[in-house]
Amino acid sequence: MASEKVTSMDVAKKAGVSQSAVSRVLTPGASASKKTAAKVISAVNELGYRPNIIARTLITGKSRIIGLVVAYLNNRFYPKVLEKLSNKLQKEGYQVLIFIAQNTDDDISNVIEGILEYQVDAIVAASVGMSSDLAARCQASGVPIVLFNRGQTNSALSSVTSDNFKGGWKAAKHLLELGHKKIGYIAGWEGASTQLDRESGFVAALKEKKITITHREVGNFVRNEAQDAARRMFSNQNHPTAVFVASDHMAFAVIDVLRSELGFRVPEDISLIGFDDVSLASYSAYNLTTIKQPITQMVESTVNILLDQINHPQVQKNQIIKIDPTLIKRNSTSSVKDSK
């Protein structure tokens, strides 16, 4: 039958079972006896059968597909999230369909509309915001949405983040403990809840010691814009001795400018702390002190919420989860007394 399309009926005949038994064996979560499952799997392998996902969707009303919307795949944080999220969902019998969106209402709206056409079972919006109208559109379609690494002021949707306020607070406390008083901040995209919360926590901790940010620039979570922000911040001698950068992705760009273009040493001249703890942060070229996002716990919480909302659609229960981040001390920060 190698030259013909193998159907589930062919598998049923080969295994000596009903077509519905084949469907139960091949549907994640459905029940079938071990004896029946063994027969079906043997027939599937022998015939080279591949289930028709579209047909199964029409029958069950479930595609077993989760739509993932993401804006920053060039940021090493998100490929790691994608890997962990895909692996976790695959273990639950789901596949991930990835869509790239720019952080504009129109583009996000167009992408979400496109995702809904694929009859996905749920959507994860990572690093992108959702308007109330768009959230209502998805909910009216019966498609659950979970925001990942983004919050929403009206809490109309479930969201999973690290505690960004606390992370910013920890970054400030670390620099203060090192004796810094001239402290700068390079912000991410100012429409992002993560950016707002990180800066708010940072400012709050400084305020406790009656210190304010002396220099502030915006990098928008983009490498070249972070480089320009560093050039502006250190364009004259009245520059900060320490800087909190709102993401590791931007922090690497800032370090490159400080060392290669401006002739500063890190941390001897400038202390620098990032946010995320991507793998590159531990490389000797950067050795970046940073705030570690708990990716594993964030992914587990996201999947748990998704499955709960998929399996219990009649229960509308939005969850706002914030997980405590961790300060990771490396060699990009030092005390003022050690600075030259």
Helix (H) or strand (E) holding 218, with range, is: strand 215-218
- Cα angle at 106 between 100 and 107, to 5 degrees? 10
Q: How far is CA 290 from the centre of its chain?
A: 17
Segment 76-105 shows an average pLDDT of: 86
Segment 78-96 shows an average pLDDT of: 91
- Please tell me the number of Cα atoms within 13 Å of 300 on its side-chain side: 5
Q: How far is CA 302 from the centre of its chain?
A: 10
pLDDT at 291: 98
Higher pLDDT pick, 100 / 330: 330
The answer to whether the predicted template modeling score (pTM) of the entire model surpasses 0.85 is no
Helix (H) or strand (E) holding 328, with range, is: strand 326-328
What Cα–Cα distance (Å) separates residue 173 from each residue in 13, 29, 193, 208? Answer: 69, 48, 21, 10
- Highest mean pLDDT: which of 12-26, 93-107, 156-170? 156-170
Q: Is 222 in contact with 192 (CB distance < 8 Å)?
A: no
Domains of the chain and CATH, by start: 8-51 (1.10.260.40), 65-162+294-323 (3.40.50.2300), 164-293+327-338 (3.40.50.2300)
What are the tens digits of pLDDT across the range 214-257? 999 999 999 999 999 999 999 988 999 999 999 999 999 999 99
Sheet holding 65-70, edge to edge: 95-100, 65-70, 122-126, 145-148, 158-162, 320-323
- Cα angle at 189 between 330 and 187, to 5 degrees? 45
Q: Give the model's confidence band at 2: pLDDT under 50 very low, under 70 low, under 90 confident, else very high.
A: very low
pLDDT at 212: 96
Residue 55 has pLDDT above 70, yes or no: no
Phi, psi of 268 (to 5 degrees): -55, -40
What are the tens digits of pLDDT across the range 282-306? 999 999 999 999 999 999 999 999 9
Exposure b/e, 270-281, CB count within 10 A at least 16 = b: bbbbbbbbbeeb
Segment 171-200 shows an average pLDDT of: 96
